[in-house]
Chain A
Amino acid sequence: MFEVTDIKLLPNNKAVVALSFFPLGIAFASYIKLQTIKKYPQKMKDIIISENDERLIASKNQADANAFRILQRLLFFSYMGYTLMVPGDIFEAAGWWLITFLLLASLILQGILSEKSTGGHDSKNNDSEDM
């Protein structure tokens, strides 16, 4: 089956090396952070405060939301550009399907998560008061 579809079960070394860059980078950054805390223990306090201060958390969440919004718009324009410039790939190419799936997934997830966070308007979800 894999010969027919030309899918290799074991990736070549280049792919493994390229895929390992990201987790290695994260591991290295975590190591540096731990070494810094070991060397300067008073920085631990600053790190704890920065992770608990509601104002900083709110601004980080806002930055994350803005980053997501920018990426979503880039994805949308990429999808539009790809669809218009290469009409032969529509419904045919794996790349077109991938970009379409990612765009739809981002829109659906955004809707689901924002509905969840607002708690919906369903009155059945409201907690009954103890009188």
Chain B
Amino acid sequence: MKNKKMKIARVESDVSQEQLAEIIGVTRQTINLIESGKYNPSLKLCIEICKALNKTLNDLFWEE
């Protein structure tokens, strides 16, 4: 399932996938795969994404 919340949060922060990947220390492909729902990140990576986008785990990764 696509992670639209993460994509919206990233766009709202005016950060590209490349930039977010560089901040976190992963490849752009990994960010793309997480947003498209094709890769399940570890909890550690989820937390790092939340910190980079200034959001909580609920905001980005909780399925409604």
For A, the interface residue count at a CB cutoff of 8 angstroms equals: 8
In the complex, what's the smallest C-beta–C-beta distance from A3 to chain B, in angstroms?
Answer: 60
**Complex-state Cα separation, A50 to B29, whole angstroms:** 11
Contacts from B to A (Cβ < 8 Å): 21, 25-27, 29-30, 33, 39, 41-42, 44-45
Are B39 and A52 interface neighbours, CB within 8 A? Answer: no
**Contact residues in A for B39 (Cβ distance below 8 Å):** 55
Among B26, B39, B44, B45, which residue has the most Cβ atoms of chain A within 10 A?
Answer: B26
Least CB distance from B17 to A in Å reads 14
- A interface: dominant SS: helix
| In contact, B25 and A55 (Cβ under 8 angstroms) | no
A32 lies within 8 A of chain B by Cβ = no
Q: Are A49 and B25 in contact (CB under 8 A)?
A: yes
Q: Are B27 and A49 in contact (CB under 8 A)?
A: yes
Bound: A92/B25 CA distance, A: 56
By the criterion CB–CB under 8 Å, are A54 and B27 in contact?
no
A62 CB to nearest chain B CB (Å):
13
Report the separation of the CA atoms of residues A48 and B39 in the bound assembly, to the nearest whole angstrom.
Answer: 21
